[in-house]
Amino acid sequence: MFPQIRMRRLRYGKLKEMVQENDLSVSDLIYPFFVDETASEKIEVASMPGVFRWPPALAVDAAREAYNLGIPAVLIFGIPKTKDALGTSSYGDDDVVQKAVRAIKAEFGNDLIVITDLCMCEYTDHGHCGIVNFETHDVVNDLTLPILGKIAVSHARSGADIVAPSGMMDGMIEAIRLALDENGFENTPIMSYSSKYASVFYGPFRDAADSGFCFGDRSEYQMNPANGDEAIREAELDVLEGADILMVKPGMPYLDIVYRIKQEFKMPLAIYQVSGEYAMIKAAAEKGWLDEEKCFYEACISMKRAGSDMIITYYAKELTKIIKEKA
């Protein structure tokens, strides 16, 4: 007895390439980086080798590295020089993100898509993603919404192509959509961090962005990692409120959520390979336990297979080189 059906027939040479179902391409990638108003030179993030905080004067250089490789989009995070309880350094026309966006758009125009992370946690001294009631230690949802609207408008005014709210406040997409529309930015898309989990994998980011919190955690607004159906409801609400692009975050531990959201909504979908995922692979590679390039490639093609259209990854530049070598 021999097998009639042999899967191995299609696993040789060129034929194997012809039957490949998914691919990773440079146009899928979004390169995130940090602009730090307190820095005067590039500072490497200790827990994220190869990732830097860029001083405002070098923000254009950071973007240029991505642009030169053909990466279509960057995602900008700001680290302000002053923080207060109300996050007031997040929405001024001359604050860190707004200035960086203006400079980058002046340099690259429509040849590079600039996405801004829209959240308060990097700008508040308590590190939470909204206005805090200090008696109850609660983040007050509805007081936070108008501020998110203000930040969105300031980002759009500085030239941001897409705003990406990541604070997981209820109603934030609607509030931001209304604020943008009222100010003449009805054509600015919203990429919503729609299904964002309260994840320990954000650890290294909080070093990078100086956005650790001084009390509590984010589990009262970010999602419980045990839940799947809830991620669908979160995404559905954002769709109804006007989100243009959905997102799942973190990436690799949540591929089931990516798959479900893509099946359910057929919307453009981004996935965020977060700081902890990056740090894990980097650390194992440093020890010689994993092949760094192959590991990132496999992780990212798995994200495509699960259904994501776009991948936000700190490894975007290196991936671009790997993709080009494969071609």
Q: How far apart are CA 186 and CA 274, in angstroms?
A: 30
Q: What is the DSSP letter of 71?
A: -
Assess whether 282 carries a catalytic annotation.
no
Q: How far apart are CA 175 and CA 124, in angstroms?
A: 20
Long-range contacts made by residues 91-95, C-beta under 8 angstroms, separation at least 24?
Answer: 91/147, 91/150, 91/151, 91/153, 91/154, 92/154, 93/154, 93/157, 93/158, 95/37, 95/154
**Annotated binding residue at 300?**
no
89 interacts with ligand PBG by CB under 6 A: no
Measuring CA to CA, which residue among 147, 47, 158 is closest to residue 106? 158
Q: Are 306 and 251 in contact (CB under 8 A)?
A: no
In DSSP notation, 267-321 reads --EEEEE-HHHHHHHHHHHHTTSS-HHHHHHHHHHHHHHHT-SEEEETTHHHHHH
Amino acid 119 reads C
Structure-token pair, residue 121: 């946690």
Question: What residues contact 162, with CB distance under 8 A and at least 6 apart?
Answer: 73, 113, 114, 115, 116, 188, 189, 190, 191, 244, 245
**Annotated binding residue at 218?**
yes
**Annotated binding residue at 47?**
no
Instruction: Name residue 196's beta-bridge partners.
Output: 249
Q: Which of residues 49-68 bind ligand PBG (CB under 6 A)?
A: none
If the CB atoms of residues 57 and 86 are measured against ligand PBG, the closer one turns out to be: 86
Stretch that binds ligand PBG, among 38-46, 50-58, 98-106, 114-122 (CB under 6 A): 114-122
**Among the listed residues 39, 63, 119, 300, the single contact to ligand PBG using CB under 6 A:** 119
34 interacts with ligand PBG by CB under 6 A: no
If the CB atoms of residues 43 and 57 are measured against ligand PBG, the closer one turns out to be: 43
Q: Which of residues 186-205 bind ligand PBG (CB under 6 A)?
A: 202, 205
76 interacts with ligand PBG by CB under 6 A: no
Q: Which of residues 137-166 bind ligand PBG (CB under 6 A)?
A: 166
Catalytic residue among 83, 249, 262, 282: 249
Assess whether 196 carries a catalytic annotation.
yes
Handedness of CA 250, 256, 257, 259 (dihedral sign): positive
Q: What mask of x and - would describe binding to ligand PBG in positions 298 to 317, judged by CB under 6 A?
A: --------------------
Catalytic residue among 99, 150, 196, 282: 196
Minimal distance in Å, beta carbon 122 to ligand PBG?
6
**Annotated binding residue at 305?**
no
Stretch that binds ligand PBG, among 56-64, 98-106, 116-124, 287-295 (CB under 6 A): 116-124
**Annotated binding residue at 314?**
yes
Minimal distance in Å, beta carbon 176 to ligand PBG?
14
> Where in the sequence numbering do the catalytic residues fall?
196, 249
Binding residues for Mg(2+): 234
Binding residues for 5-aminolevulinate: 206, 218, 275, 314
Contact residues for ligand PBG (CB under 6 A)?
A: 117, 119, 121, 166, 202, 205, 218, 274-275
